[in-house]
Structure 1
Amino acid sequence: MNLSPEASQALEAFEQARGWEQRARLLMQWGDRLEPLGDSDKTETNRVHGCESLVWLVAVQDDGQWRFKAGSDARMLRGLLALLLVRVQGLASDQLAALDLSAWFTQLGLERQLSPSRSNGLHAVLLRMAELATQG
């Protein structure tokens, strides 16, 4: 699996975490590192449907590479989104579509956090990323 430096850093941090409390704290920290979305980004167009919480996704193509920004009103979900973003930054559209999301969160030791609704929500975000990337 080809990981970006940020994704490798995330994986290392989570592998070193002892127990759920440390992982939860790390998850919150990653969520806090998400670049905040401006009000202009929090539009109905950018909203990802299929998530229980409010989630927005913005895609920007930068020199042939896709860069995504995401935000949510739910703190735990912001952490999961941050970890999804570090995993997908710089991937091509076909790689995005083929990404095994549950394997990534299992590697991070966060599979317990993925209730069916959260899992569906993150899959909706990933599908939307692939959709935006193919439209570009």
Structure 2
Amino acid sequence: MTPHASIDDTLAELVEEFDLLGDWEGRIEYVIELGKALPALPDADRIDANKVPGCAAQVWLAVRRRDDRMTFLADSDSALSKGNIALLLRLYSDRPPAEILAFDARAALDRLGLPAALTRQRANGLNAMVGRIRDAAAAAVQK
């Protein structure tokens, strides 16, 4: 990802990567690989307040504010959930709150075809992760 590329540019990069992978088996494997590359979440951030409710697995999402940008740190005890949150962090991390809120996550995820490849429970978890990110951005805008 190019430093400070727009969220739409980052989505376009992801779409290209997903298109090269072809079938869903390859795409899911790629998402899992994204999760393996996530930096370790500090133990101090593995708290109940950072858990994302509504996920099939345990997912932690910590929020950091730096200047006018939001950075997210995350982890999960499930390889697929960890991959899903890694993909979302690639889209959302290190962005201003207004850009996060202006981005249509549902359309983006549909463009990647991700919800269709997941079980209903996993898709609901993915939506819960997006919701937590958007809630953090909305709270930052109100401050």
- Whether TM exceeds 0.5 here: the answer is yes
User: How do 1:1-136 residues align onto structure 2 when only pairs under 5 Å count?
Assistant: 2-3=6-7, 6-136=10-140
Unaligned 5+ residue runs, structure 2? 1-5
Taking every aligned residue pair, what percent have the same amino acid on both sides? Answer: 30
CA contact (8 A) 1:15 1:109 kept: no
Query: For 2:114 and 2:92, how far apart are their aligned partners in 1?
Result: 17
Q: Greater CA deviation, 22-31 or 6-15?
A: 6-15
Query: For 1:106 and 1:92, how far apart are their aligned partners in 2?
Result: 23
- Matched position secondary structure for 2:45: coil
Task: Report deviation, 1:4.
Answer: 6.0
CA contact (8 A) 1:70 1:81 kept: yes
CA contact (8 A) 1:4 1:86 kept: no
Q: How many residues align?
A: 135
Unaligned 5+ residue runs, structure 1? none
CA contact (8 A) 2:7 2:103 kept: no
Q: Which amino acid in 1 is paired with 2:52? A: V
Task: Report deviation, 1:6.
Answer: 4.7
Higher helix share: 2
Superposition RMSD in Å: 2.2
TM-score, normalising length from structure 1? 0.83
Q: Greater CA deviation, 71-80 or 119-128?
A: 119-128
Q: Which amino acid in 2 is paired with 1:120? A: N
